[in-house]
Amino acid sequence: MGSKLQIACPHCGSKDVFYSCEPKCCFNHVCEECKGTFEPVTEALGGRRKIVPPDPLPDCTEPAVACCLCESVAVYVDEDGVLVCADCQATLRLELTELAPG
Ligand SMILES: [Zn+2]
Ligand SMILES: [Zn+2]
């Protein structure tokens, strides 16, 4: 089974980050610790594999990212740490952009 996305704050390393917006707008995340912000994006690794979504599914304030191929937000982490889109099965790599310190 896949697990929920966990993103460490690129400013201070805290895992206490939350998703402050909604997928139809942007992927702005805020760090509870240092109030820094960032937006995660994905890059396709070129592979395909199946992933079972975690149970329970993350709620809407937990870290989220869109698949760069199909724009689905059903992106989860496989047992070996690789991100996989549950909709199109693409394997993905996480990148953090729009870094702004708090
Ligand atoms: Zn931080
Ligand atoms: Zn996808």
pLDDT recorded at residue 23: 94
Residue 5 falls within a domain, yes or no?
no
pLDDT recorded at residue 101: 97
Please give the average per-residue pLDDT across 39-63, as a whole number: 97
Full domain range(s) for residue 24: 17-100
Query: Binning pLDDT at 50, 70 and 90, where does residue 35 land?
Result: very high
> Residue 44 CA: which ligand is closest?
2
Residue 52 falls within a domain, yes or no?
yes
pLDDT recorded at residue 70: 98
Residue 90 falls within a domain, yes or no?
yes
Distance (Å) from CA 77 to ligand 1 centroid: 22
Distance (Å) from CA 87 to ligand 2 centroid: 5
> Residue 66 CA: which ligand is closest?
2
Residue 11 falls within a domain, yes or no?
no
Query: Binning pLDDT at 50, 70 and 90, where does residue 44 land?
Result: very high
Total count of domains within the chain? 1
Number of CB atoms found within 10 A of residue 14's CB: 13
Residue 80 falls within a domain, yes or no?
yes
Q: Record the tokens describing residue 3, joined without a space.
A: 């697990």
Query: Binning pLDDT at 50, 70 and 90, where does residue 13 land?
Result: very high
Shortest CA distance to 65 belongs to which of 100, 90, 98, 96?
96
Any bridge partners for residue 41, and if so which?
A: 95
> Residue 7 CA: which ligand is closest?
1
